[in-house]
Structure 1
């Protein structure tokens, strides 16, 4: 019953956290106005319009982004059997950012579908280079993927910085703010895209859950259990690439979520089960709802970049984790 209770607690926490995030912001909305918006929306009411057109899409995008990044972290940590695996560490996010910045710099296009496509091409390029390097060293494939990912992350970050150096000064500030992470682009028109991709990835992970669990035992053990290791790893890496690309295109760079949330969930529940995967997704979404609320309320008339907050939280978390492990006998 413990996994089911954990899942129920997370569901209730996400629901009430979303209501709190919708209510608070630059303008605090009465709870009655929030309920009226949900059940009897009046487009002429100013507060209800804020809730429907600004707050609800933003909260949904924050939840979906947190869930998606947490799932991307699980995928990479499973297929590489490395607890430090993360979309940023493997260069996927840097490649996606490079694709988006390349698009904006040379075309000025900021449409959601175009940015998602450019981000996916950039992340796919990073993933292709990563696989080519890793499969060239089959004896140390997992270690090679980690080292190659770090190198590719710095490489794409350097290219992105070079593009920003050549860009128009007025566009640089907008691109830099986007690259640091923000949910201000949340819009009903494009919200279906990240929601559908995250749901698709969750369904695929549940479908291939047994194969993913087998990979944790090692490639040879998984192969003896009938798992096609190379194909499964390629599919999962492409899935992680797609997931990261869409979220980077919509939200910009948000780090440490895919690295931190899986570790936190493992303290309380096994991620080898379907409920464990659902709890991980809900935990990521719950965290991002509160991070976004903090980002837009801590300072008056200003919004902090989401990526800065998650990086600060993630750094403190891992320093604390490292200290606790050193103190153990």
Structure 2
């Protein structure tokens, strides 16, 4: 085995161990006083009906798993967009996909009063597909300017859907506005065992498809002309990747609300240590994203006593500091 393969395998092993430890350790954080020993005992005595065991299995575990799935899915979606557009700042928010999904969900919540269930995911998917369709329509068919047009159109669409969402909130029932606003900032409080199957299925399938197209993704990094020379149908492949990113984002927005900067930040962090054009690199990106979001959720439940901070506020703060630091150190190197 070569040194490069050994390093990739080691990075994947460390990421997997960190993810498993995080999933286990996060179960001990919350309003109720539980320790790692209590969590361990709950797994050993899974039939135990004690108060701590019920809290861990019925409340904390589905929430922690949803947080991991959200971080993993957003990291994969960000990596997809950054690859097919060759823009390191691309993520579902920049392209308006997340804003479109949020608009669809808020529209359903404001006028139909539906706050849970499969209908929210369907509304989010329709909103994200609407944003993606407008994005492709505005970008046009010119290969040379398609990426630049997508970036500009994505920013404009993001502001447009955000404006429509704010208008809906203005017209909504004042009693429902607070709940909708908290949801739009991101939260895993509504996590349930019965609804975890949907994000798990979508993220697993999209990750598998991405892994199967890793050679085409690597070719896209060389530029459209080089990718066409290598046999990649660039426009169709880019649309396919946008659909995958929209699907992941829609499902997560419907269940968790708006969570920014994850798809933007995690691929950058992983790129410092390992190439993302390999199977190991793609899987490491997914694991690091999930691990990051698990600990963000722990912070949201632990920073304030008897209160929960929106997850999106924490990710935005961390992401802003990360990129300001990145710009500062790059400037010093120059």
TM-score by length of 2: 0.96
- Rounded to whole Å, the distance in 2 between the matches of 1:180 and 1:78 is 27
One of 206, 213, 229 as aligned partner of 1:208: 213
- Rounded to whole Å, the distance in 1 between the matches of 2:21 and 2:29 is 13
| Residue 140 (structure 2) pairs with residue 135 (structure 1) | yes
1:7 is aligned to: 12
CA contact (8 A) 2:143 2:224 kept: no
One of 74, 77, 80 as aligned partner of 2:82: 77
2:107 is aligned to: 102
- Rounded to whole Å, the distance in 1 between the matches of 2:258 and 2:291 is 18
1:309 is aligned to: 314
CA-to-aligned-CA distance 1:112-143 (integer Å, 9 cap, x gap): 21100000000000000000011155431111
1:113 is aligned to: 118
Q: Return 5+ residue gaps in structure 2 as ranges.
A: 1-5
| Residue 182 (structure 2) pairs with residue 177 (structure 1) | yes
2:274 match: secondary structure = coil
- Rounded to whole Å, the distance in 1 between the matches of 2:122 and 2:223 is 34
| Residue 39 (structure 2) pairs with residue 34 (structure 1) | yes
TM-fit CA distance, 1:33: 3.0
- Rounded to whole Å, the distance in 2 between the matches of 1:119 and 1:78 is 24
Report matched runs for 1:135-174 at 5 Å.
135=140, 137-174=142-179
Report matched runs for 1:241-280 at 5 Å.
241-280=246-285
CA-to-aligned-CA distance 1:145-184 (integer Å, 9 cap, x gap): 0000000000000000000000000100000000000010
1:232 is aligned to: 237
CA contact (8 A) 2:125 2:251 kept: yes
TM-fit CA distance, 1:314: 0.5
Q: How many residues align?
A: 329
- Rounded to whole Å, the distance in 2 between the matches of 1:148 and 1:198 is 26
Question: Larger deviation: 16-25 or 86-95?
Answer: 16-25
CA contact (8 A) 1:134 1:141 kept: yes
1:192 is aligned to: 197
1:139 match: secondary structure = coil
- Rounded to whole Å, the distance in 1 between the matches of 2:90 and 2:113 is 33
CA-to-aligned-CA distance 1:225-266 (integer Å, 9 cap, x gap): 111111111111000000000000010000000000000000
Q: Return 5+ residue gaps in structure 1 as ranges.
A: none
- Rounded to whole Å, the distance in 2 between the matches of 1:147 and 1:172 is 31
1:189 match: secondary structure = helix
- Rounded to whole Å, the distance in 2 between the matches of 1:203 and 1:251 is 23
CA contact (8 A) 1:137 1:144 kept: no
TM-fit CA distance, 1:5: 0.8
